[in-house]
Structure 1
């Protein structure tokens, strides 16, 4: 009982530390006084001002388009990359490929961003939409691989052997055996890539050009000018959007697991 109480208290303290600054920021986004230390009166003026800012709405649209495009492309590349690594039979080759895959995950974002900046400058790619999209795809692919590969490793080779015995070709094995089995990992990789793309700052900061920006870079620019509750309102909406994504992913996984359990019970 004591262990349970201590663990509960510990978790409570951890969640308070994590979420208190966010809720503090959200609370003062409704402050009419325009300050972060004295709440005067409830207002939605900061949200109205936010939605009347055409430039900021364009930046939101840019961020969403970049996140969706990079997530879709990186999910496709990451799934086939994970399958390719899974098919490698020699352990040292598989470990080498995984090490190369993990470089972009463990490397500091500043180094990655600077590397992309140098590469785009040398190749002649203009900084802007294309450079940001390519960068987000590059650092999202390893994340998708990491999320998909465990599902592939869980899959029994007898499933593929059975499909081959029934006359299935490589395409049928891929589309009717492998992809349906690893679907939870694909969804997990997609949502992880989406959230990483939405909140990335360090890499995006290096590869954005004049006339193009994303929300993370714009919030940084606004924060440097001084305290503005527009930042609070924008951050609140971003946090709520992230919560909706997490809940959506949770319901998708729960629904799929429920179907799997139902099918197992019928058998």
Structure 2
């Protein structure tokens, strides 16, 4: 038993080493005063200064965060509505069909989704740029929110809603004062997942961006193709650190919600 546990721990260490070693390699050379990723000459912050003095890059960063926040908020609202609609369908066949269609969008290759959106926007006459990127990010984020919210709806006892209705609560009160507080952890999880996917997406965005509009993932790819520049390392390091902050923030929000739920159950 002890040998198995040691072997599993060793396996986990190996997996994390493979996953994180390239990231830390990139992070380490973002402080290199030399222009390559082979010989570390001396410590410098010049590459970070270059990132913060690049006006075009700062505009792209702003575009990326605006797209991510807008798409996350809108997809969270739509995802909650979709999860509620799926949950309250009584017939199994339509419910399973909708769930299957929702899951297909999650597992579909990004290249197929991006090409499909490109064809769609070309046919209906939407110019490639901010609008096309926003609509695409909303579309692939909604199924993620649905998947996050549905389990919380399924956990909720129907007696809570029945009790609220018996006490004279309207449909809006039931939604805002009973259902939403209960599924709040799933809503936060869906929002943060949608935000992460939007910030991270490259394949779909690459197909639907245009008219001088770009996001960080596309910009990093374009710069990497032009040759090695340690400003890419600095930019990637900043994105990685921001992602860590998001994960830590989600963890603390989730912990607070869990404590609030436990306190509420203890009072009952």
Superposed structure 1 runs of 4+ greater than 4 Å apart: none
Unaligned runs of 5+ in 1: none
- Report the alpha carbon displacement of residue 262 of structure 1 after superposing the two structures with TM: 2.1
Query: 2-side partners of 1:73 and 1:80: how far apart?
Result: 11
1:33-72 pair list within 5 angstroms? 33-72=34-73
The answer to whether structure 1 residue 175 and structure 2 residue 163 are counterparts is no
The answer to whether structure 1 residue 186 and structure 2 residue 226 are counterparts is no
Aligned residues: 267
Taking structure 1 as the reference length, what is the TM-score of the superposition? 0.98
- Report the alpha carbon displacement of residue 141 of structure 1 after superposing the two structures with TM: 0.3
Aligned partner of 2:82 in structure 1 is: 81
Aligned partner of 1:11 in structure 2 is: 12
1:233-252 pair list within 5 angstroms? 233-252=234-253
- Report the alpha carbon displacement of residue 266 of structure 1 after superposing the two structures with TM: 3.1
- Report the alpha carbon displacement of residue 239 of structure 1 after superposing the two structures with TM: 0.2
CA deviation vs aligned residue, 1:98-156 (integer Å, no higher than 9, x gap): 11112221111111111101111111111100000000000000000000000000111
* Secondary structure of 1:9 counterpart: helix
The root-mean-square deviation of aligned C-alpha atoms, in Å, is 0.8
CA deviation vs aligned residue, 1:36-61 (integer Å, no higher than 9, x gap): 11111000000001100000000000
Aligned partner of 1:27 in structure 2 is: 28
1:188-227 pair list within 5 angstroms? 188-227=189-228
Unaligned runs of 5+ in 2: none
Query: 1-side partners of 2:267 and 2:157: how far apart?
Result: 21
Query: 2-side partners of 1:264 and 1:166: how far apart?
Result: 20
- Report the alpha carbon displacement of residue 92 of structure 1 after superposing the two structures with TM: 1.3
- Report the alpha carbon displacement of residue 265 of structure 1 after superposing the two structures with TM: 2.5
- Report the alpha carbon displacement of residue 211 of structure 1 after superposing the two structures with TM: 0.9
* Secondary structure of 1:182 counterpart: helix
Query: 1-side partners of 2:264 and 2:85: how far apart?
Result: 30
1:53-132 pair list within 5 angstroms? 53-132=54-133
CA deviation vs aligned residue, 1:150-189 (integer Å, no higher than 9, x gap): 0000111111111111111211111111111000000000
* Secondary structure of 1:32 counterpart: coil
